[in-house]
Structure 1
Amino acid sequence: MQQFCLTLSLLFVLTTLSAQATLRGSITDADNGQPLVGATVLLKNLGRGADTDSLGRFRFSDLDPGRYQLQVAYLGYQQLELQEVLVSAGKEVVLDIELEEAPTSLTTITVKGSRTAQGSVSPNLLRLTQEETLRFPATFNDPARLAQAYPGVVGADDQANHLIIRGQSPLGLNWRLEGLEIVNPNHTANAGTFSDRSSLSGGGVNAISSQLLEEGRFYLGTYSAALGNATGGLLDMRLRTGNNEKAEYTLQAGLIGIDLAAEGPFRAGGASYLINYRYSFTGLLTDLGAQFGNEDIRFQDLSFKFLVPGAAGSRLAVFGLLGKSSNVFLPPTDTTEWGTEKDLYNTIDFSSEMATVGFSWTRPHQEKGLWRLAGAWSGLRTERLALAADLPAREWDNLRQEKTSLQISYRRKLLPFGSLTLGVEMLRLDQRVAREFPLLLEGLLDISSDIYQVSPYLDWRFQVRKVLLQLGARTSFWANEKEQKTYFEPRLSVSYLASAKNILGAEYGVSTQAPSPYTPVFRPRKAQQASLFWTYLLQADRKLTLQVYQQQLSAFTGQAARSEINQLELMQLATPGTTRGRTRGVEASLQQFATGNWWYVLSGSIFDARYENTNGDWVKTRFAHDYAATLTLGKEWSGLDRKGQFNRFGFNVRIQYNGGLRAAPILLDNSRAVRTTVFDYDTGFTQQLPAYFRTDIRLYFQKNRLHWSSMLSLDIQNVTGQQNTAYTYYDRLLDAVNTRYQLEFIPLLSYRINF
């Protein structure tokens, strides 16, 4: 009887123990990777601090689940303050933080849940964290969709994550993984396009699960000399490191897919693994016999990262991504249900496969240097087949692209003159596109190209009293089997730390980008951008940013409206000649960090995006929506329930209002003659679609228990059911110009558990 009572007492204690969380990590020198011994780490909202040990490590155990402000300081280094650090039960938060050495610590660099202060004062670098993808409404855990909450970025279509950056075509975006250039890492790359053909800029679902994401570094046109091959922007997805002390698991099930993630140590010395497999939820239900209308959309992906520490402070990371997706359409068997020309097709079958494998190796050199060697191979294949009884032949598209990237760099401290990085980035781009299109007399298309890029660069960062300077120079050598071209790409960033609250800055950069697979001419595109910005800290967790900028585009293949400036999936064949473009704009944002019970991001932009037509006139581009405004805000309620367990409930909303995209007039008689849409490109994009308005919401409820935490969430995209115009086209079934609308009222329920 006594033993029975003791057992009951033990069970009662275990069920009433409050959940506790762990926050730990390491502090290292950003330039040489050496641990900083004795650095001070302070949890500001608790007044609780710790010093790093002989390996630069710190640990806070037995924390209540919730949000914390983390301040890191070390004598002679720039002080760093992380504003949005969320800890929960069942999964340790591990931060590998880097500090930059500076002659004087004049101010505190305030950032979100990021691990480094490098470039943080510039509004042209957005750090999109994993925690934000789980908090902002209708992001579908995708950093590209998350970026639309900030100024200068809007989506081209609700179905996909194609990004229009400051009025530029999404083709100007460069995708990277762990700093290395890769192919388009998105499933169903035909989603959200006018022609239902594959694009190089985005897709329906990001193939890299948020379970692995540490942050997405999103550059809006100006970046360091180490980065290139982009004219619009650059999204570098950084993977977090798996837990090197204990095994942890995550299970997530929702209407997007089912994720299974595992991480932990796999040998002594701090080595760790992190792996995630995901299978689409609709694909699983279809396998079980369920039907979702006339389309079968499915995908699956596997992503991983292994980290192995070595001798003398070296670190080797191996990472990879495998993805496969398909979209098969079959028309209704009852012809009375046919509503658009899509129903004329017996089948539309789209499929894609992608793969990426890469490595990154770093090794400190003496006490002031750091070597880095990294490389990756990535490949993409997409195919679309469409058959219709009223067409004389099939519609068929095949796109193949491979990228092999290699980087070698050496960073050296030059105190009191900052740090200097010398490096070279090499890229091989092998691509081929083939097409059969029976209408518009387009006939057969088969273009292949094999392009090489070698880009040596130098990047010098230093601080002179209140001025932070970053000077960069990059020379890009482009070559194929017939031609060679050389471009000089200077980069400059200047920030004046007027006070602890005021930062003034200016940036300038030139960059080039490889021609698209659809371009038969070897001609890299070129862009240059200049900007002025001002950042004011209203409070420690609230900031205001203003920026004005100007972009100049040149050498874009094709003439006027048919040029690459105005294309997304490159439906139009490239015409001879090149086209210039320009964009001028003003951006503003006001952000309240999620340090308390509420937060918000208010952003707005006004810009003028134009290209030069054949008459020498500067006219609006296809993507010139002129203005954009977004308000994203949220409120959290947290506390202990009746059992003494910590719970958290959140309600978040995002409201978007943008100008409409533009379209060329449709020539109805010409379209009827060839039975497909014919635009009057000679006139240009003179028609503007109606303004875009959308409201999204997200509700979530998180439980924290002794050894696990869970979150139940509901996202609703376009909660008001607003009909936003996607585009107009000639419909050969209706024999009239028809309007295609974007998505309406999309609910997404998800459940996530960490243990």
Structure 2
Amino acid sequence: MRFILFILVLITHISLFVFPSKAQQLTQTVRGQVIDQQSKATLIGANIVLLDSTQFIGAATDIEGKFRLERVPVGRHKLKISYLGYKEIVLNIIVGSGKEIVLNIEMDESVLMGREVVISAEKEKSKANNEMTSVSARSFTIEETNRYAGSMGDPARMAANYAGVLGSSDNTRNDIIIRGNSPTGVLWRLEGVDIPNPNHFALFGTTGGPVSILNNNVLSNSDFITGAFPAEYGNAVAGVFDLKMRTGNNEKREFMGQLGFNGLEAGAEGPINKKKNSSYLINYRYSTMELFSLAGISFGTNAIPYYQDLSFKFNFPKTKIGSIALFGIAGASRIAILDSERDTTNFSFGNAGNDVSFASNMAVGGLSHTYLINSTTYTQLVIAGSGSIMDIKSDSVNFDKTTVPIYRNESNQGKCTTNFFLNKKLNSQHNFKTGFIIDRINFNLVDSFLNIDINQFITSRNYQGHSYLLQPHFQWKYKITNSLVFNGGLHYQHYFFNNSNSLEPRAGLSWNFKPFQTLSIAYGLHSQLQMGYAYVNQVQLGDGNYVKPNENMGFTKSRHYVLAYDHLLSENLRLKFETYYQEIFDVPIDRNNSNSFSMLNLGADYDLYFPDSLINNGTGTNYGLELTVEKFFSNKYYYLFTTSLFESKYIGSDGVQRNTSFNGNWIANVLVGKEFKVGNKENKSKVFTIDAKVINAGGRRYTPIDLELSEKFGSAVYIDSKAYTLRYPDFFRADLKIGFRFYRKKLTQYFALDIQNVLNTKNIQVRIYDKSTNSLRTEYQLGFFPVALYKIEF
């Protein structure tokens, strides 16, 4: 703690001497492009005006739909964009002195030409960037991933503040539980490509991890959807992150540096060819905790994570064949959790009695081509490759600290993806979008374990091969009137590995029945493949031969029903209710034995155990009520209150209905933040920020351990008949973030101290079996944990 504060103070003093303040008005350029939301055609003559300036600052778009505002004062501003026959937009922007503001603005055409419909950016937060969504969706800005206390620049941790969403029980992982569903049901999409788990230290089949590979410094405004998602999304039953990368500055070179929890990083962007508006964007990041460990900082564990990642995008918008972009992200990580070397006072990550070394690599790279056929039609083709590698070694630690190998896994998965769609805007009322996604999935899955009965390693999986997943889709948006909109579509999935398939209708209707009040209803059938490991799991027969009992498993399926009411109480205050019911079926459960196992309970931690033989006979239900009260940022402050009441149940092969491991029953979040401008009357170039968050949620459910049998077998034996009947005490945590942003000529600096668990509340992480004492030991989550951040842009 003292080291972190020392670094903050040191950087502050250095910056004040190296970059002295000058008593002058600091300004910046705001520019961008305005296009039609459906057809992507440029809008010529759209008006852009800065609303809160003492002098008029405005412009009109040129023949390419571009605009430019010079000498915009630094700070927060509202920007109004208007165009005849289109819905007016008001954007809330933060202008800094270090980087230009480059905006890509999409406007929605009104059904009745010339009728004025004013919708501000704050009001549009009730909707996603994807116009085909009707319910359970919202866009989020990259500013929010930086602003909210406890988010640490991570989209997943930020999304855990929304109604119906619960983060992992400990902030050491960013798994998100959406409406009682396993985190494995979440789809991550980047630049139109469905990607593997975008986190460091990621297991195959999971969607979370301790540190995100996704770098918010290169992301643009994106979508988060929690139910009944549009027909273009498939292979997911819980929710969708649809992420976009921003393009680099195509007129001037800009740079950034940052030091924080997520790493020590550096970024650069700038033009490749100014005449053709091409640009580059590159960011590299390296593990902060490793650097702090070398400096002698203790984190209460000998397991120090090592990781690094790279993000890039090269944009070529003016080629002879259309707009082309090259993009990619890659990350590498490793950690050794060695109980044989652990001090008994140190955190064991619930891994007492074992030495585990773990390494994972992940990469995605692709090419995107967008072609405008005419003013109402365009196509997009994305060709990409992605892959992930996992290496696990686990040894049992004896009482004398010697070790015995018990598990080995050296596996990799790869995927080649083609995503194509055509979008046609017939008129102001009708818009169609149709296309397909085809994945070639490559497997190299090898793992083995020690069979203590015969004292030799048994191969669980040894599979090399490939298969295809085809996903055609069709969507239609019909604006019946300006206040009544229908979204419909159809998604199909076919997995060629075993020829399983799923036909999935989607539909939604939104009715703006009174000014600022909207009632929406939606339905969707969604399905998801099982993790690749499950299909190729092999069992050795008595004659020594192997069989794969799970190779004919089908999709897990879920019907989503959602009803929503949205009321804009004032210009910046919103009230929203949503209620939902999810009917889950065809869930894999144990084929041969009567027990509590269900795939619905996997994915919240590093344990992905499942029985040898599975069958799609399990079921589950999720239902609940969600409330959101949100005051959007205005008058220098904001607040967000969300709460959810829900049930999450399932039935395994024993026919007993139980709580899922994610059934916490309730969640409540309160976030609040305020800005204070500091400086003289003419030049308030410094901003002090304070943000706070409080979360209270029902305790996590768990299965009791049979101590007598555990002593007999030397490891934890769970009482299956009492699966998820116990729960830890309710979870409570408060976070506090203090920030300081100040501007110099062509330079912006930002300091923050994000204090996790500021009240040092002792929340239970896990109760584990300690074979050395034949007793249960309680381990607690991270206590008071300050995270410092410094960022510079120039």
- In structure 1, which of residues 33, 42, 66 is the aligned counterpart of residue 49 of structure 2? 42
**Which runs of no fewer than 5 residues in structure 2 stay unpaired?**
1-17, 536-549
CA distance in 2, matches of 1:444, 1:12: 62
2:360 to 343, 346, 352: 352
**What are the superposed Cα offsets for residues 557-608 of structure 1, whole Å, 9 maximum, x if unpaired?**
1246311101114223354323111111101101111122110110011011
1:554 maps to what in 2? Answer: 585
Aligned equivalent of 1:103, options 92, 108, 111: 111
- d(CA) in 2 for partners of 1:389, 1:550: 46
What CA distance in whole angstroms lies between the structure 2 residues aligned with 1:183 and 1:16? 50
Does 2:609 align with 1:602?
no
Query: Residues 682 and 506 (structure 1 numbering): CA distance in 2 closer, same or farther, change over 3 Å?
Result: same
When residues 92 and 561 of structure 1 are mapped into structure 2, their CA distance, relative to the original with a 3 A threshold, is: farther
CA contact (8 A) 2:128 2:137 kept: no
Aligned to 1:152: 164
Report the equivalent of 2:198: 185
Partner of 2:558: 527
> Equivalent residue for 1:676?
715
Are 2:692 and 2:734, in contact at CA under 8 Å, matched by a contact in 1?
A: yes
Q: How far, CA to CA, are the matches of 1:570 and 1:336 in structure 2?
A: 27
For these two proteins, the number of residue pairs brought into alignment is 734
CA distance in 2: counterparts of 1:651 and 1:440, whole angstroms: 56
CA contact (8 A) 2:128 2:139 kept: no
The match for 1:69 among 33, 56, 78 is 78
How much has 1:357 moved relative to structure 2?
Answer: 0.3
Offset, 1:119: 3.5
2:140 to 121, 124, 128: 128
Trace 1:305-704 onto structure 2 (pairs within 5 A): 305-311=313-319, 314-331=322-339, 342=351, 344-345=353-354, 347-390=355-398, 392-438=404-450, 443-446=458-461, 448=463, 450-465=466-481, 466-480=483-497, 483-520=498-535, 521=550, 522-559=553-590, 561-568=596-603, 569-573=607-611, 575-578=613-616, 579-641=618-680, 644-704=683-743
State the alpha-carbon separation in 2 of the partners of residues 323 and 614 from structure 1: 39
Q: Is the 8 A contact 2:109 2:428 kept in 1?
A: no
Shift of the alpha carbon at 1:49?
A: 3.8
Asked if structure 1 preserves the Cα contact closer than 8 Å seen for 2:430 and 2:478, the reply is yes
> Deviations along 1:155-211, whole A, 9 cap, x unmatched?
123211111110111110111111210111101226xxxxxxx65211111112111
Match of 1:21 in 2: 28
> Alpha carbons of 1:621 and 1:447: their partners in 2 closer, same or farther (altered >3 Å)?
farther
Cα distance, 1:615–1:505 mapped onto 2, change above 3 Å = same
* TM-score after normalising by structure 1: 0.92
| 1:280 to 2:287 alignment | yes
> In the superposition, relative to structure 1, how do residues 434 and 598 fare at CA in structure 2: closer, same or farther (>3 Å)?
same
SS at match of 1:133: helix
The CA distance in 2 between the partners of 1:646 and 1:542, in whole Å, is 28
Change (3 A) 1:409 1:12: closer
| CA contact 2:527–2:557 (8 Å) conserved in 1 | yes
Alpha-carbon distance between aligned partners in 2 of 1:12 and 1:317, rounded to the nearest angstrom: 36
Q: Please report how far the alpha carbon of residue 733 of structure 1 lies from its aligned counterpart in structure 2 after TM superposition.
A: 2.5
Q: Structure 1 residues 404 and 574, CA, compared in 2 at 3 Å: closer, same or farther?
A: farther
CA distance, structure 2, for counterparts of residue 282 and residue 12 of structure 1: 28
After superposition, the C-alpha distances for 1:185-241 in whole angstroms (9 at most, x for unaligned) are 101226xxxxxxx65211111112111011332111222111111011111221111
Cα distance in 2, alignment partners of residues 232 and 518 from structure 1: 20
Q: How does 1:244-259 map to 2 (within 5 A)?
A: 244-259=250-265
Deviation at 1:638, TM superposition (A): 1.1
CA distance in 2, matches of 1:71, 1:257: 37
AA at the equivalent of 2:609: M
Residues 297 and 246 of structure 1, relative CA distance in 2, 3 Å threshold = same
> Is 1:220 the equivalent of 2:226?
yes
> After superposition, what is the alpha-carbon deviation per residue over 1:388-425, rounded to whole angstroms, capped at 9, x for unaligned?
45265333233422222211111111115421111111
**Identical positions, percent:** 29
Over 3 Å counting, the alpha-carbon distance change for 1:130 and 1:335 in structure 2 is closer
Contact persistence 1:108–1:500 (CA under 8 A) = no
2:394–2:405 Cα contact (<8 Å) kept: no
Greater Cα shift, 625-634 or 307-316 = 307-316
**Relative to structure 1, is the Cα distance of residues 739 and 108 closer, same or farther in structure 2, using a 3 angstrom cutoff?**
farther
CA distance in 1, matches of 2:116, 2:725: 51
- Distance in 1 separating the partners of 2:244 and 2:598: 33
More displaced stretch, 609-618 vs 645-654: 609-618
Match of 2:779 in 1: 740
Q: Give the match's secondary structure for 2:22.
A: helix
Task: Give secondary structure in 1 for the equivalent of 2:220.
Answer: strand
Give the match for residue 3 of structure 1: none
Letter in 2 for 1:457: H
Q: Is the 8 A contact 1:503 1:534 kept in 2?
A: yes
* One-letter identity of the residue aligned with 2:658: V
Q: Structure 1's 608 and 439: CA in aligned 2 closer, same or farther, altered over 3 A?
A: farther
Q: Is the 8 A contact 1:256 1:748 kept in 2?
A: no
8 A Cα contact 1:98 1:116, kept in partner? no
Counterpart amino acid of residue 523 in structure 2: Y
What is the rounded CA distance, in whole Å, between the counterparts of 1:642 and 1:573 in structure 2?
69
Mind listing any 5+ residue stretches in structure 1 that lack a counterpart?
Answer: 1-10, 191-197
The alignment yields a C-alpha RMSD, in angstroms, of: 2.7
**Residues 728 and 737 in structure 1, CA contact (< 8 A), matched pair in contact too:** yes
- CA gap 1:199/1:420 in 2 versus in 1, 3 angstroms: closer
In 2, Cα distance between equivalents of 1:505 and 1:260: 44
Give the corresponding residue for 2:766. Answer: 727
Q: Residues 526 and 325 from structure 1, CA distance in 2 versus in 1: closer, same or farther, beyond 3 angstroms?
A: same
- On the 8 A contact 1:102/1:418 being kept in 2, the answer is no
Cα distance, 1:734 vs. partner? 2.9
Given the superposition, is the C-alpha separation of residues 366 and 121 from structure 1 closer, same or farther in structure 2, using an over 3 Å criterion?
closer
Cα 1:490–1:120, aligned 2, differ >3 Å: closer, same or farther? closer
Q: Deviations over 1:290-344 (max 9, x none)?
A: 7754223111011100100124782111101121111123457698878979565
CA distance in 2, matches of 1:557, 1:12: 61
What residue identity is the alignment partner of 1:201? T
Deviation at 1:40, TM superposition (A): 2.1
Alignment partner of 1:398: what SS?
strand
Q: Does 1:266 align with 2:272?
A: yes
Q: Structure 1 residues 431, 581: CA separation in 2 closer, same or farther (over 3 Å shift)? A: farther
Which piece of structure 1 moves more, 382-391 or 710-719? 382-391
SS of the counterpart of 2:711?
Answer: helix
The whole-number CA distance in structure 2 between the counterparts of 1:689 and 1:229 is 32
Bigger mean CA deviation after superposition, 655-664 or 517-526: 517-526
CA displacement at 1:549 relative to structure 2: 0.6
Range with bigger deviation, 163-172 or 496-505:
496-505
- Structure 1 residue identity aligned to 2:480: V
Give TM-score, length-normalised by structure 2. Answer: 0.87
- In structure 1, the partner of 2:249 is 243
Report the Cα distance in structure 1 between the residues aligned to 2:501 and 2:664, rounded to whole angstroms. Answer: 34
Change (3 A) 1:683 1:444: farther
Q: Is the 8 A contact 1:532 1:547 kept in 2?
A: yes
Cα pair distance change 1:643/1:43, threshold 3 Å: closer
SS at match of 1:394: strand
Alpha-carbon distance change, 640 to 92 in structure 1, aligned in 2, over 3 angstroms: same
1:165 counterpart residue number: 178
In 1, the alpha carbon distance for the partners of 2:635 and 2:141 equals: 18
Offset from partner CA, 1:258-317 (integer Å, 9 cap, x none):
110000101131001000000112223456787754223111011100100124782111
**Counterpart-to-counterpart distance in 2, 1:437 and 1:660:** 33
SS of match in other structure, 2:244: strand
Of 62, 87, 95 in structure 2, the residue corresponding to residue 78 of structure 1 is: 87
